[in-house]
C-alpha cells in the first residue's frame, strides 16, 4: 500500500489531479502494482478524504495530545516521538496531527514503521494541497544514515 501512495505523491501534483478510482486502478495495475495493494491504498485515501472533510473542530495551539494505550501500542514510541518532533517544529498543526494519527491507526502494521509514518505525514500534506518546507521534506525522505555531517 505504501508503495502505491508514494507513486501517487510522485506522479500527481494534488489529489484532484488523480483520475477516478477505476481509471487510476487500471493505471496502477499497468505500472505493476498488485490489485490488493491498489485497493488498500485507494480505501486508505478515501478514509483520509472523509476524515479531512469531517475534521473541522478547531484545536488550541496549546492543547496537549494524550495517546491512549491502544494508540501507543499501534503507533510505537518512535512514531509518537516523530509526531511530537513535527509538532514542536511548528510544521504539524493539531488538526493535521489528528489526521496523521487517524490514518496511522487505519493501517494494519503494529507498531507502525517510522518510514511508513513518514509516508502518512507526506500524504496528509499532499491531501491538504500543502507542501512541507524543504527541511521537513528532507526529514521525510532522507535516511538518517545517508546524511552528511558538515
Report residue 105 as a C-alpha cell: 491507526
Per-residue pLDDT of the chain (150 residues; tens, 9 = 90+): 999 999 999 898 788 888 898 999 999 999 999 999 999 999 999 999 888 877 656 666 667 889 999 999 999 999 999 999 999 888 899 989 999 999 999 998 889 999 999 999 999 999 988 877 766 777 776 555 544 444
pLDDT the model gives residue 148: 46
Q: Is the dihedral of CA 126, 105, 117, 44 positive or negative?
A: negative
pLDDT the model gives residue 76: 96
The residue assigned the cell 490514518 is: 103
Q: Is 136 left (phi over 0), alpha (psi -120 to 50) or beta?
A: alpha
Query: CA-to-CA distance for 41 and 47, rounded, in angstroms?
Result: 10
pLDDT the model gives residue 150: 43
Query: CA-to-CA distance for 112 and 26, rounded, in angstroms?
Result: 29
pLDDT the model gives residue 147: 40
Cβ-based neighbours of 6, under 8 Å, separated by 6 or more? 119
pLDDT the model gives residue 149: 47
Domain regions of the chain by residue span: 2-56+65-143
Amino acid at each position: 500500500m505504501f508503495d502505491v501512495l508514494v507513486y501517487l505523491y510522485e506522479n500527481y501534483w494534488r489529489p484532484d489531479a488523480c483520475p477516478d478510482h477505476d481509471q487510476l486502478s487500471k493505471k496502477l495495475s499497468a505500472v505493476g502494482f498488485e490489485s490488493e495493494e491498489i485497493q488498500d491504498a485507494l480505501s486508505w485515501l478515501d478514509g483520509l478524504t472523509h476524515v479531512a472533510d469531517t475534521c473541522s473542530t478547531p484545536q488550541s495551539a496549546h492543547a496537549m495530545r494524550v495517546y491512549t494505550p491502544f494508540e501507543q501500542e499501534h503507533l510505537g514510541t518512535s512514531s509518537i516521538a516523530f509526531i511530537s518532533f513535527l509538532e514542536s517544529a511548528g510544521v504539524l498543526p493539531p488538526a493535521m496531527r489528528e489526521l496523521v494519527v487517524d490514518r496511522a491507526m487505519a493501517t494494519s502494521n503494529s507498531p507502525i514503521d517510522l518510514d511508513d509514518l513518514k509516508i502518512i505525514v507526506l500524504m496528509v500534506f499532499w491531501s491538504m494541497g500543502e507542501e512541507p518546507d524543504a527541511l521537513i521534506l528532507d526529514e521525510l525522505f532522507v535516511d538518517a544514515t545517508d546524511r552528511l555531517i558538515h
